[in-house]
Amino acid sequence: MSVATEVSGATETASTRSARAERLRLLLRSPTFLFGMFVLLFWIGCALIGAQLVPVDPYADDMMNILAPPSADHWFGTDSLGRDVFGRVITGSRDILTIAPLATLLGTVLGTALGLVTGYFRGVIDDAISRLVEAVLALPLVITALLALVALGTSSVTVVVVIGLVFAPIIARTVRSAVLLERGLDYVAAAKLRGEGSAYIMFVEILPNVMPPILVEATVRLGYAIFTVATLSFLGFGIQPPSPDWGLAISESYGMINGGFWWTVLFDALAIASLVVAVNLVADAIHGVFET
Amino acid sequence: MIFGRLLAKRLLLSLVTLWLLSVLVFAGGQLLPGDVGRAILGPLADPQAVANLNHELGVDRPLLVQYWDWVSHFAIGDMSMSYTFRSPVAPFVVQALTNSLKLAAVAFVLVVPLSILGGVWAALNVGRPIDRIITVAGLSATILPEFVTGIVLILIFGIWLRWLPIQASWPDGAGPLTQIYYLILPSVPLFLVLFGYIARMARAGTIEALDSDYTRTAVLKGLPWRTVLWRHVLRNALLPTITVIATQTGYLIGGLVVVEVLFHYQGIGGLIYTAAKGKDFPMLEAGILTLGLIYTLATLLADLLYSALNPRIHFGAVE
């Protein structure tokens, strides 16, 4: 009996492993994934070492040289403080690529725990969560975040916490429906018969089997997080000066757009667009691989 | 009978959602800031002045009293006094809402027919290049933040080509056509966000309907293609699309804040933004709760419309 269990357990691990390798192989052959990953890695690289590579210090202002159009010295021109726009665009991914993933991580961890508990036990908490999700979704994330940021004061930590807290019930809903499918399966019943505790069954037995939907949901959420952080920064409630953040740069410069200073906003807008599209391509490819 | 029960259930759920929402907004506007007087007057103000202001604003009363006072007055349309303007909030909200509805209306009139057309067209050409173009373009437009597409549009059509005004506020006394002219450019970022969602639903619905047995039967019994498309395919395909259009009002509302700020438009989003900047909590709460109310009503309406149009739900086959 115990030998048979061992054997079937071993083959199962092997097949899971080969399924994982197969998915990875599919991902690496998907052009959308590769392209998205390339752009994403480019911006991650810029966030990490961009500051050392750019020819002009992105924080240095030059009052003799404000709002200069693109030239050989300043490839993307200079902004209203005479700062080099090229350097600021290259280093501008740093804050958003810190805040958005942290918020996503917080939301995913909280949401997974919540989803496991509500899916496994169901009952009253389950209904309460559904209602809460609906109330939270009745307001766009940007507005919920705005309210919380005005009330608590603007800071990066608040942005992370607010986005994470709003994501948690949404992710919990996805995890919950995956758990509902798992809890009736034989391996859960077997664990119960062995006398395992609920916490052990939820986090050691069920959790590894619901990882794929969690991963897919997390990558989709990362796209939303980047969208939201960029928008909040544009509104002046997200990343604060003197950061070279893209949304913030557009917020600082769009008031002068009538003067024709297109280079102060266009490159930042394109940078945000490329990052958002890249993350969504990656999320889409991962979603596609796990769906089949 | 069944429809009546469904209506009652949905109404009740909407009320629960609204109640939760009001608690959320109240917590954000009056609980989290802690000392409201301090938040308005700043860290250097005299403690006595802060206490006086708190008393004047009524925020030194017990929380439950404050909540009840606020929510019961809101329910009858009295949205208390603005901290900044020291006058009732309601007229500001009504004026802003009127402006926002104009902007949303222009966006909707553009997006609903075009996105349904796009989705159906893509579905009829599934797998061909035109399908790929509509799907990929729609998806990319949907995921870009409104201020990013907005700024690029301003550069192209407002600054370089000089075709359209880059500020949405029209001169005083402008007629409806002039107003629409001013609202075209601001409505495009909203259009882009909505297009992808609605077109995707319309496409999926149409593909499913085209693939169904009833369409096959309709074609095989010799009905003209036009009749099959209108009476059999589209009637079924567009049902889910209606729900999506209504739920997208939520995204529309979120986008409104950004678009109204970018185009200097005095709508509800602009109002919320100004209130947020000035820490005018009553104005902020009123604006946000109004948006939540609109969203909840739109969702409710979509639910009911869907049930009314779908005979399967109407006759109780579902639930």
- pLDDT tier at B32 (50, 70, 90 boundaries)? low
CB-based contact B261 A132, cutoff 8 Å:
no
Residue at token pair 């250097």: B44
Predicted confidence at residue A248, as pLDDT, reads: 92
Instruction: Report pLDDT for A275.
Output: 94
B148 to chain A: which residues are within 8 Å by CB?
Answer: 230, 250, 269, 272-273, 276
Q: Confidence class of residue A151 from pLDDT cuts 50, 70 and 90?
A: confident
- A141 neighbors A149 (Cβ within 8 angstroms): no
Chain A residues touching chain B at CB-CB below 8 Å: 131-132, 134-144, 146-152, 223, 227, 230-231, 234-237, 247, 250, 254, 257-258, 260, 262, 265-266, 269, 272-273, 276-277, 280
Contacts of B152 in chain A (CB under 8 A): 266, 269
The reported pLDDT for the residue numbered A8 is 46
Q: What is the pLDDT of residues A60-103, one digit of tens each?
A: 777 787 887 888 888 888 888 888 888 889 998 999 999 999 99
Whether B34 shows a pLDDT value over 70: the answer reads: no
- The CA-to-CA distance between both ends of chain B, in Å, stands at 13
Q: Enumerate the H helices of chain A as residue ranges.
A: 2-29, 31-53, 85-91, 93-121, 124-137, 141-152, 156-182, 186-193, 198-200, 211-235, 246-253, 266-291
**pLDDT tens for each residue of A18-51:** 777 888 888 888 888 999 999 999 999 999 988 8
Residue-level pLDDT at A113: 93
| Predicted local confidence at residue A1, as pLDDT | 38
CA of B21 to nearest chain A CA: how many angstroms apart?
Answer: 5
B157 touches chain A (CB under 8 A): no
- Please count the CA atoms within 13 angstroms of the CA of A192 that sit on its side-chain side: 10
Range scoring the smallest mean pLDDT among A144-153, A224-233, B74-83, B133-142? B74-83
Tell me the C-alpha distance between A161 and A291, whole Å. 30
Q: What is the pLDDT of residue A140?
A: 81
Buried b (16+ CB within 10 A) or exposed e, B272-295: bbbbbebbbbbbbbbbbbbbbbbb
What phi, psi does A97 have (nearest 5°)? -80, 0
Instruction: Give percent of chain B with pLDDT exceeding 90.
Output: 8
Residue B317 has pLDDT above 50, yes or no: no
Q: Based on the number of CB atoms within 10 Å of its own CB, is A42 exposed (0-12), middle (13-18) or buried (19 or more)?
A: middle
Q: How far is A117 from chain B (nearest CA, A)?
A: 22
Q: Is B32 exposed, middle or buried (0-12, 13-18, 19+ CB in 10 A)?
A: middle
pLDDT at B250: 65
pLDDT at B2 over 70: no
As given in the structure block, the two tokens for residue B316 are 């109780």
CA distance B278 to chain A (A): 9
Measure in Å the smallest separation between the Cα of B209 and chain A Cα atoms: 22
Is B288 in Cβ contact with A139 (below 8 Å)? Answer: yes
For the cut 80, the answer to whether the pLDDT of residue B37 exceeds it is no
Per-residue pLDDT, B8: 83
Mean pLDDT over B308-319 rounds to 57
Determine the pLDDT at residue B318.
Answer: 43
Domain ranges of chain A: 25-57+74-290
| pLDDT at residue B1, as a whole number | 56
Verify whether the Cβ–Cβ distance A237 to B292 is below 8 Å: no
Mean per-residue pLDDT, A103-123? 90
What is each CA distance from A197 to A116, A118, A184, B17, B235, in whole angstroms? 14, 16, 16, 35, 52
Which of the residue ranges A85-99, B96-110, B296-310 would you say has the lowest mean pLDDT? Answer: B296-310
- Structure tokens given for B247: 């739920």
Chain A residue closest in CA terms to B140:
A277
pLDDT at residue A241, as a whole number: 87
CA distance B69 to B61: 10
Rounded to an integer, the average pLDDT of A103-107 is 96
User: How much is the pLDDT for B319?
Assistant: 40
Q: Kindly provide the ipTM of the predicted complex, given to two decimals.
A: 0.83
Please determine, for residue B231, whether its predicted confidence score (pLDDT) is greater than 90.
no
In three-state secondary structure terms, B28 is: helix
Backbone angles phi, psi at B107, to 5 degrees: -60, -45
Residue A110 and residue A174 in contact, taking contact as beta carbons nearer than 8 Å: no
Q: How far apart are CA B151 and CA A264, in angstroms?
A: 11
B295 touches chain A (CB under 8 A): yes
Q: Do A134 and B292 touch (CB under 8 A)?
A: no
Structure tokens given for A10: 């071993």
Q: What are the start-end ranges of the H helices in chain B?
A: 2-26, 36-41, 47-57, 63-75, 90-124, 129-143, 146-153, 176-210, 213-220, 225-227, 235-237, 239-247, 249-262, 268-277, 281-309, 311-314
Q: Read off the pTM.
A: 0.85
pLDDT digit string (tens) for A240-270? Answer: 888 889 999 999 888 888 888 888 899 999 9
The predicted pLDDT at position A97 comes to 94
Structure-block tokens of residue A129: 């969560």
The amino acid at B143: I
B20 and chain A: CB distance < 8 Å anywhere? Answer: yes
> What pLDDT was estimated at residue A214?
93
pLDDT tens sequence across B200-227: 888 988 888 888 888 888 888 888 888 8
pLDDT of residue A51: 81
What is the CB-side half-sphere exposure of residue A244 using CA atoms within 13 A?
Answer: 28
Report chain A's mean pLDDT, rounded to a whole number.
Answer: 85
pLDDT of residue B255 exceeding 60: yes
Provide the terminal-to-terminal Cα distance of chain A, rounded to the nearest Å.
Answer: 34
Residue B172 has pLDDT above 60, yes or no: yes
Q: How far apart are the C-alpha atoms of A279 and B150, rounded to whole Å?
A: 21
Which three-class secondary structure state does DSSP give residue B81?
strand
Cβ–Cβ under 8 Å, residues B154 and B208: no
Top-confidence residue, A138 or A269: A269
Q: Tell me which architecture the domain covering A25-57+74-290 has in CATH.
A: Orthogonal Bundle (1.10)
pLDDT at A271: 94
List b or e across B83-104, with b for residues whose CB sees 16 or more CB atoms inside 10 angstroms. Answer: bbeeeebbebbeebbebbebbb
CB A206 within 8 A of CB A120: yes
* Candidate from B159-168, B180-189, B238-247 with smallest mean pLDDT: B238-247
Interhelix angle B239-247/B249-262, nearest 10 degrees: 40
Which of the two residues, A64 and A225, has the higher pLDDT score?
Answer: A225
Q: How far apart are CA B143 and CA A227, in angstroms?
A: 8
Q: How confident is the model at residue A3 (pLDDT cuts 50, 70, 90)?
A: very low
Say what the pLDDT of residue A5 is.
43
- Residue of B312 and A244 predicted with greater confidence: A244
Q: Which among B195, B169, B199, B170 is positioned nearest to B110, based on CA atoms?
A: B195
Please give the C-alpha separations between residue B218 and each of B30, B206, B221, B286, in angstroms, as whole numbers: 61, 15, 5, 53
| C-alpha to C-alpha distance for B183 and B103, rounded to whole angstroms | 6
d(CA B153, CA B171): 22
Burial tier of A238 (Cβ tally within 10 Å: 0-12, 13-18, 19+): buried
CA of A281: which chain B residue's CA is closest? B140
* Residue B52: φ, ψ to 5°: -60, -45
pLDDT score, position A4: 43
How far apart CA B319 and CA B309 sit, in angstroms, is 16
The pLDDT-based confidence of B38 (bands split at 50, 70, 90) is confident
List the single residue in B with minimal CA-CA distance to A270.
B148
8 Å CB contact of A152 and B32: yes
